[in-house]
Structure 1
Amino acid sequence: MTTWEPSAPALSVRQVLALERVLAGEPEVVAAAGRLDRPVRWVHVAEAADVGVMLSGGEMVLTTGVLLAGDEDRQAEYVRSLHRAEASAVVLGLGRAFPSPPEAMRRAAERCGLPLVVLHRPSPFAQLTEEVQSRLVRRKFAAVSLSEAVRTGLTALITTGAPLQRLLDEVARHSGCPVVVTNLAHRVLGTAGERPAVDDVLRDWERIARQAGRGEGDGWIRAELGGRGEPWGRIVLCGYRGDTATGRLLADRAAEALVLHRMLGGGAARTWEEQSAQSLMTDLIGGVVPARALLPRARAAGLPVNRRTFVPLVVRGRDAARLDRVLRLLGLPGIAAELAGSAAAVLLSLARDQDPDALTLHFAARLRAEPGAAPAVVAAAGARTAFDDVPAGLREARHVADAVADSAAALDLPPVVRLRDVHLRGLIRLLRDDPQVQSFAERELDGLLGEPDEDLLSVLRTYLATGRNKSRTAQLHHVSRPALYRRLEAIRTRLGVDLDDFEQAASVHIALLAHDAQQH
């Protein structure tokens, strides 16, 4: 007899009763009608009164009851023994032994919750068994084939260094339903599947996460992710429409691949949490996807979004992982993500009664107070009360951070830099791609551009940024005053300008701002 494996593909009692050969016997469920979704792993024909000892679980037992007729105690014990053996159901063919459903068996089956089905018309048990067994074999073969196809596909992706998203897309392709990966706190780390279906899942993620945590049902199938006995996340198939056992097999194969992917570094230095935050923040800043459409992802990523005040920030001089640690240390709800150009974005989500300016200043002060760290530039946009306005705020904060990036050390910047603090730099940054501005910058700086000695350009940048303060410039470049004078003289000679003349110095300053803006 085949050993019962809970993960083996099975038919439900309800599905077996819907088969054409079974319907020909006019089946009637007379007990435990609410338990028809129990899996049938095998069909067993048996007349022995002690058949229960021969079962291993999951069988649908077919009998005429010929050895039970006339003894109600044996009839009840027969049902109880099947229940103890974890049989799926018992099908009794009515006829000479039992012309009508036996009451003793019906009562016992109802108490045990074991479906009792009677067949009102003669039905060849051999043909019925053959039909069910062949279907089960085909389902098992299909499940094994699917399992191997998934394993092969995911392994190939891992060996080529594919990112997490590629693996999840492959799982979603095979499962035909949304796929979600979370950490133990139910924070979503990745999703795949048809976008509208995924958004529907994320929109109600808190309820779904609780349901997935309690167990499986209605197609919600999960598999734990972890290593060395320590779980760190789970993968959930949301609304899988196929056979539950096949879905479990698919989820298990996916989990194995994801654990291996993470162990090997996932093709990237960033953690899955960091990649998830970066994807969300990139989409917000890009503006291609409407902010409202990104709300489910933001909520599922752990960002509070209902009746909140949002503060968009861009920080230079700290990576996203460190910013995330500071957020947790200060108890500030928010997410941090890396951006291109050595910057990181932070989106704070504050309660409406909190002071956004004060908390932003507190966050910036904490960054500046970190021992041994390079100075951090914190650029902020004005607080937003509507999530739809967040993308514009993030772009404004990035614009401010970019405008002061080249001369941050020389400028006397406030702890939190805002649009009003960047003045001319902000305007030049906006106009940097204009051909006439580019031509102006090259013409004004022609004597210094392309020179192997970049020190003169750096000295000029600092000198102009400090308001032509020679002492401050010498200090920042760690040179003596006479050495600085020689450099300034070389600059005057090469550019052919008088830096003591305000208009000429202003012209060179604007050209240098334009040149620096074009380099980033």
Structure 2
Amino acid sequence: MRVADLLDLPVLQGARVVAGASGLEARVRWVHVVDLPDPLPWIDRGMLMLSTGIAWPRQDEELADLVRRLAERGVAALGLAVPHYFARFPDPMRIAAEEVGLPLIEIPWEIPFVRITETVHQLILREQWQELERAEKLHRELMRAAARTRSLDRLVRTLGELLGRSITVEEPDGTLLAYYQRGPYEDAARQVTIESGRAPAWLQEGLAARGYLPPQGTQPYRVPAIPELGLRERVVCPIWLHGELVGLVWIIEGGEPLSGLDLRAAEHAALVFALLFAQQRELAQLEARLGYAFLNTVIEGRFSGSPEELERARALGYDPARRYRVAVIALGEPPLTVEAFQRREQVALRVRRVLRQLAAAPLVATVHDQVIALVEQEAHLERIWQELAGCGLTAVAGRAHAGPDGVRRSYREACTLLEYVSRPGLYRYEDLVLERVLAGDSEARQAFLSLWLGPLERARHGDRLVETLVHWVRARFSVNAVAEELGVHPNTVRYRLEQAGTLLGRDLSDPEAQFELQLLLRLLGREGKLPVVA
């Protein structure tokens, strides 16, 4: 209950605030009548102090000092029964009250203090009972949500709906784990975090520079509005697990502060999240051990393909009939130190989490300074790199192949690329084939031929497409010359070239593509595979 709410009570009809109106939002915890020369030992923070003024000093400075000391003690408001011992609050008390923001309330003498205390205490107790009922509801709903689901997103939504606030749960490094958005974005910082999947570096650095990150304890704490960071008021609840900070709950507070009950609910939710994290860690560790063992077995050529092994592989989410790329994330340093080992495991954990979020099998393994993952879709590879792009790592990916032999082949292709890259980035096998051909890599020559000719040879009448394409290159890209040489109409040549470009996914008029085609012609000549006119 606020001081301002007291003035609306029928029992205080006729009472009026004569000074210190800036403190009317203060909360009232209790009401106490004190008529002693020194009231301070008998009062406490948040009390409405009632007095007749019979024991107050009469000197101006002492009266002003009394107001200042009551404000320092945390008194919510001071009520004086008038007129009797004082006709009204003396001017020195009013002036002091305005300075310190302590509301002074003049109460008509005929209103008994006992009626005021009884009425206010009943309302405070009713408010506290309602708080307890709401606390029980919050606790019950959180427990019910935790029992129904193991989804962090669902738990965050439940907390957001109970508090009526927008919420994010993030890792200590700012990676977004889950969020609940209530209406439009409250500020720029939140919008960037949700749209990019992590808190931007400038936000993290700005909060750290101001001492708000990392948390210094286990209790929730407030972060004020920081306009230069595009940040509105927030409450932060650290998530601790076995003495380790594993996450942060960010609650948008805005202009309406969270109540003490809301803060306790948020703290309780952080505990529920910690228990969920513990369970997820155990499952992830089991999943990781199984995934490590399976993927290492395949890469090392120890996968026999027996019915029992195939059954276990399918249980882990691997389908031998599907085509997978092998992605290798190179950390650049062997895990010979605790820090390097933890970094490698953290990268593996992030890759597994991305694959789980994409509903893909989290088949990940670690070997020396590498994190290895099976990736079925191109979009999944892009999403993994998006997660790791800011970590200064190098990621390489072999081509997509089917079956255990295909996994080993894709892994070898990926490892081959590591010899040709010198800076962080994502590199696919097909992206670097040309560079490797120019460097004299014999395996790359075969891959280059396969990239250009494979899609055409597998197509219907593919031999005609290959024949037309090669003659077109040899004729220095003249359609009419090819038509005359092959004895067909120029439009037929154009149609075949258009088909070839579609199958290859390349613009054959592009100078870079034509350079590669000229290289293709030379390699075909070296290999003795140039087609001849029938």
| 1:206-217 correspondence runs (5 A) | 210=207, 213=212, 215=222
Equivalent-residue separation in structure 2 for 1:216 and 1:315 (angstroms): 45
Query: Helix, strand or coil: the match of 1:250?
Result: helix
CA gap of 1:188–1:29, structure 2 versus 1, over 3 A, is farther
Q: What letter corresponds to residue 179 of structure 1 in structure 2?
A: I
Partner of 1:458: none
Of 51, 55, 68 in structure 2, the residue corresponding to residue 63 of structure 1 is 51
Partner of 2:17: helix, strand, or coil?
A: strand
**Cα separation, 2, equivalents of 1:322 and 1:118:** 76
Whether contact under 8 Å (2:399, 2:430) holds in the other structure is: no
> Is 2:46–2:74's contact at 8 Å kept on the other side of the alignment?
yes
Match of 1:247 among 227, 242, 262: 262
Q: Distance in 2 between matches of 1:55 and 1:269?
A: 55
2:190 maps to what in 1?
202
2-structure distance, mates of 1:430, 1:37: 78
CA deviation profile, 1:400-448 (whole Å, cap 9, x unmatched): 97744553544784733267775687799999xxxxxxxxxxxxxxxxx
Is the 8 Å Cα contact of residues 12 and 116 (structure 2) preserved in structure 1?
Answer: no
Cα separation, 2, equivalents of 1:429 and 1:15: 81
Residue equivalent to 2:117: 129
Contact 2:31 2:47 in 1 (8 A): yes
**Rounded Cα–Cα distance in structure 1 between residues aligned with 2:457 and 2:129:** 66
- State how far apart, in whole Å, the 2-side matches of 1:212 and 1:92 are: 44
Q: Tell me the equivalent position of 1:434.
A: none
- Equivalent residue runs for 1:238-387 within 5 Å: 238-239=252-253, 241=256, 244-265=259-280, 268-269=283-284, 316-317=326-327, 336=351, 337-338=354-355, 339-342=358-361, 370=368
Match of 1:417 among 423, 428, 437: 428
Answer whether contact 1:318 1:343 (CA < 8 A) is retained. Answer: no
After superposition, the Cα gap between the structure-2 partners of 1:92 and 1:375, relative to the gap in structure 1 and judged at 3 Å, is closer
> Does the 8 A contact of 1:62 with 1:125 survive in 2?
yes
* Partner amino acid, structure 1, of 2:63: Q
Using the TM superposition, name which of 114-123 and 158-167 deviates more.
Answer: 114-123
Contact 2:23–2:101 (CA under 8 A) maintained in structure 1: yes
Q: 2:473 matched to which residue of 1? A: none
Aligned length: 341
- The 8 Å contact of residues 403 and 426 in structure 1, kept in 2 or not, is answered as no
* Matched residue type, 1:101: F
Q: Paired residue for 1:513?
A: none
Between the aligned partners of 2:399 and 2:359, the Cα distance in structure 1 is: 11
CA shift for structure 1 position 41: 1.2
Contact 1:368/1:376, CA 8 A, preserved across alignment: no
Partner of 2:40: 52
Residue 3 (structure 2) aligns with: 13
Contact 1:173 1:193 in 2 (8 A): no
Verify: 1:225 aligned to 2:235, yes or no.
no
1:83-134 CA-partner distances (Å, limit 9, x unpaired): 3432222123431222233123234434544333334786443333333322
Change beyond 3 A, Cα 1:233–1:25: farther
Deviation at 1:14?
3.3
SS in 2 for 1:264: helix
SS of 1:221's equivalent in the other structure is strand
How many Å apart are 1:188 and its aligned residue? 3.4
Map 1:440-455 → 2, pairs under 5 A:
none
CA-CA distance at 1:157 after TM superposition:
3.9
* TM-aligned CA distance change 1:77 to 1:374, over 3 Å: closer
Q: What secondary structure is seen at the aligned counterpart in 1 of 2:238?
A: strand
**1:235 partner SS:** strand
Write the deviation string for residues 218-274 of structure 1: whole angstroms up to 9, x where unpaired.
974333322455544332332375762222122122122222322333785289xxx
2:6–2:12 CA contact under 8 A, matched in 1:
no
2:168 corresponds to: 180
Question: Could you tell me which residue of structure 2 aligns to residue 148 of structure 1?
Answer: 136
Query: Aligned residue for 1:117?
Result: 105
Structure 2 stretches of 5 or more lacking a match? 194-198, 213-220, 225-231, 287-323, 334-339, 387-396, 418-426, 432-447, 461-528, 530-534
Q: 1:130 to 1:410 in 2, by over 3 A?
A: same
- Aligned partners of 1:162 and 1:379: how far apart in 2? 26
Contact preservation (8 Å) 1:12, 1:39: yes
Structure 1 portions without partners, runs of 5+: 1-10, 272-313, 346-366, 391-399, 432-501, 503-520
Structure 2 counterpart SS, 1:62: strand
2:80 paired with 1:92: yes
1:169 corresponds in structure 2 to: 157
The 5 Å alignment of 1:485-496 reads none
Aligned-residue offset at 1:59 = 0.8
Determine which of 237, 240, 244 is the counterpart of 2:251.
237
Moved more, 368-377 or 246-255: 368-377
Q: Distance in 2 between matches of 1:223 and 1:161?
A: 22
Structure 1 letter corresponding to 2:16: P
Helix, strand or coil for the counterpart of 2:137? Answer: helix
1:263-291 Cα shifts (integer Å, max 9, x gaps): 333785289xxxxxxxxxxxxxxxxxxxx
| Cα RMSD after superposing both structures | 5.3
Q: Could you tell me whether the CA contact under 8 Å between 1:164 and 1:266 is conserved in 2?
A: no
Tell me by how many angstroms 1:53 deviates: 0.6
Q: Secondary structure at the match of 1:265?
A: helix
| In structure 2, C-alpha distance between the alignment counterparts of 1:15 and 1:104, rounded to whole Å | 26
Query: How many angstroms apart in 2 are the aligned matches of 1:94 and 1:429?
Result: 102
Deviation per CA, 1:264-320, whole angstroms, max 9, x where unpaired? 33785289xxxxxxxxxxxxxxxxxxxxxxxxxxxxxxxxxxxxxxxxxx9635599
Counterparts in 2 of 1:150 and 1:269: CA distance versus 1, 3 Å: farther
Which residues of 2 match residues 382-421 of structure 1 at below 5 A? 403-404=400-401, 406=403, 407=406, 409-410=408-409, 413=413, 415=417, 416-417=427-428
Quick one: distance in 2 between partners of 1:44 and 1:430? Answer: 92
Q: Which amino acid aligns with 1:173?
A: E
Give identity over the alignment, percent.
Answer: 21
Give deviations 1:470-517, integer Å, cap 9, x for gaps: xxxxxxxxxxxxxxxxxxxxxxxxxxxxxxxx9xxxxxxxxxxxxxxx
The 1:53/1:36 distance shift into structure 2, 3 A limit, reads same
